[in-house]
Structure 1
C-alpha cells in the first residue's frame, strides 16, 4: 500500500520531533497537516515552504490540545486522517510534594488526554478509508522512570497503554497502532538547556552533553529527528502491517540497562 497522497496529521509539529516527522512523511509522498497552539504568520509560512520543498499538500491548523474541543476539531478540520501522529507534549520537573497541580493537569491533558481525543475522531475516518496508522510518540520514560518527572512519566506510560488498547480494538482491521519511544533527541528545546547547564555545573559543552544530558543513554549520542521520522515512515509501510500494539525504542540503548 503506497503512502503517497495519504494525509498525516501530526500534533505539535511546528518544531522539533514533530517537524522532523512531518518532513519525513512529506518526503515519502504524504500530504501533511501541521499543528501547534500558536497562530503566527511563520506557522503558515512553514507549511507553505514544506509544500514547495516536497511537492505535497501541507496545511497548518492551530489547536490548543489541552482543550478537548480543539483537539477533536483539529482532526475534523483536517477532513481526512490516514496517519495520526500524536506528538504534542510539554514538560515540568519538580518533586512530587512540590509539583504544581496546574502543571500536572496541563501535562496530562496535552501529553496523554489529547491523544485520546484525536484518536477517537480519527479512527472512524480510517475505518471509512479501510486503512490507517496511529503513531504515538511516547518516550523512554514510557518504559522506565526518572525522579522529578511524575506527570511526564505517568503520561508517557499512559500513552503506551493507550496504544495497546487502540491496537487491540483495531486488530482485525487494516489499522495499526504503535508507540515510538525516543531517548534524548537534539531539538531546539534540548539545545537551549545546554548553556544554562554548562554554567550551573561549570562544565564545557561536550561534558554537559556526555555526562549530564546523555548520562542514561549508553550510545552517548542523541537520536535525530530524521531517525524518528524514518521510523514513523516505516510504520506506515507495507512491511509494518503486522506490527501493532508495541513500542519501538530509539534511545541509544537506554531501556536496555
Structure 2
C-alpha cells in the first residue's frame, strides 16, 4: 500500500464537530494526519474526536471559540504540545443568520464578522510563525460562493466570506517564500446542518414556504440541481492540503455544482 497523502502531518480544523468540518477531519485522518477537532461545543468536539479515534485514527478534541484570540493562541499551543508542530490549519468555523439589511441585528453582524473573518486572521497570525520556522504549511479558509457573489438576506455572511478571500490572497503572498500555501475553498450549497437550518429563514425572507426553498430558490441556481455532499468538499480540501496542491496558493477555489458558471 502506498504512502498516505498526509502521513505524519498534524491538522487543526475549527468548527469540526459536524458538517464540512467533520468531513474534512475524517478525510485528513484517513490519509494519515493527526487531527485536532476543535469546536465551540466542547462535548460535540470530544464526541467527534472519539468517533475518529474508535475508527483507529489519531484524533483529539478541543473546545475553542474560534473568534477569541486567547482561545486560538491556546489551540496553537495545545497542538504543539500534543504533536510537536502544525502543518495544516483549516479555518472552518461559521454561523448563519438571514435577514434583510434593515432588519439585520448589528450585534449579530459583528459576531459573524468576528467569527468568519477576524478569527481566521488571528489564527493565521499565530500559526504563521510555526509554519515559517518549518518552511512548510497549508492554510485553508472555508469561504463560500457567497464570497464571490451576493445573495439577498446574507449581509454578514457575504461580507465575511468576501473578506476572507481577500485575507487569503494577502497571506498567500506573505507565505509564498516559506513553503506555505493559503487558499479559500468556496463551496456552493452543501447538505449540512448549517444549510438545512437556514431554509426556513430563506423562506421567511422571500415569502414562500420552506418546502419551496430548494425547488424554487436553490436548485434553479445550481445546474446539477442537488446539494453537495460534505465528503466532496473534504476531498477537495485534502488535495489542497497535500503535496499535490503545492503550486496552488492565493486562490478562491470553487466547488458548487455549476452555480457561478451561469
TM-score (norm 2): 0.89
Q: Within 5 A, what are the aligned runs for 1:69-84?
A: 69-79=70-80, 80-84=85-89
Q: Tell me which of 31, 42, 45 is aligned to 1:43.
A: 45
Superposed displacement of residue 226, structure 1? 0.7
Q: Within 5 A, what are the aligned runs for 1:220-231?
A: 220-231=225-236
Structure 1 stretch 43-52 or stretch 17-26: which is displaced more? 43-52
Q: Is the 8 A contact 1:217 1:252 kept in 2?
A: yes
| 1:24-58 superposed Cα distances (whole Å, 9 cap, x missing partner) | 11111111011111222x531321220231x3321
Q: Which residue of 1 aligns with 2:65?
A: 64
Structure 2 Cα separation of the partners of residues 61 and 75 of structure 1: 11
TM-score (norm 1): 0.91
Superposed displacement of residue 147, structure 1? 1.4
Q: Is the 8 A contact 2:187 2:256 kept in 1?
A: yes
Q: Is the 8 A contact 2:98 2:201 kept in 1?
A: no
Structure 2 Cα separation of the partners of residues 83 and 237 of structure 1: 9
Superposed displacement of residue 215, structure 1? 3.1
Q: Tell me which of 153, 175, 181 is aligned to 1:176.
A: 181
Q: Does 1:254 align with 2:259?
A: yes
| Compared CA separation, residues 212 and 133, structure 1 to 2 (3 A) | same
| Compared CA separation, residues 101 and 51, structure 1 to 2 (3 A) | same
Q: Which residue of 1 aligns with 2:219?
A: 214
| 1:164-205 superposed Cα distances (whole Å, 9 cap, x missing partner) | 00110011221101111000000123334568989984575x
Q: Is the 8 A contact 1:184 1:214 kept in 2?
A: no
Q: Tell me which of 11, 14, 19 is aligned to 1:8.
A: 11
Q: Is the 8 A contact 1:143 1:157 kept in 2?
A: yes
| 1:220-253 superposed Cα distances (whole Å, 9 cap, x missing partner) | 1111111111101101222211110011101111
Q: Within 5 A, what are the aligned runs for 1:35-184?
A: 35-40=38-43, 42-53=44-55, 55-79=56-80, 80-184=85-189
Aligned length: 253
| 1:108-149 superposed Cα distances (whole Å, 9 cap, x missing partner) | 000111001111111111122221100010000011111121
Structure 2 Cα separation of the partners of residues 65 and 202 of structure 1: 34
Structure 1 stretch 161-170 or stretch 60-69: which is displaced more? 60-69
Q: CA RMSD in A?
A: 2.1
Q: Is the 8 A contact 2:98 2:198 kept in 1?
A: no
Structure 2 Cα separation of the partners of residues 194 and 93 of structure 1: 9
Q: Is the 8 A contact 1:82 1:133 kept in 2?
A: yes
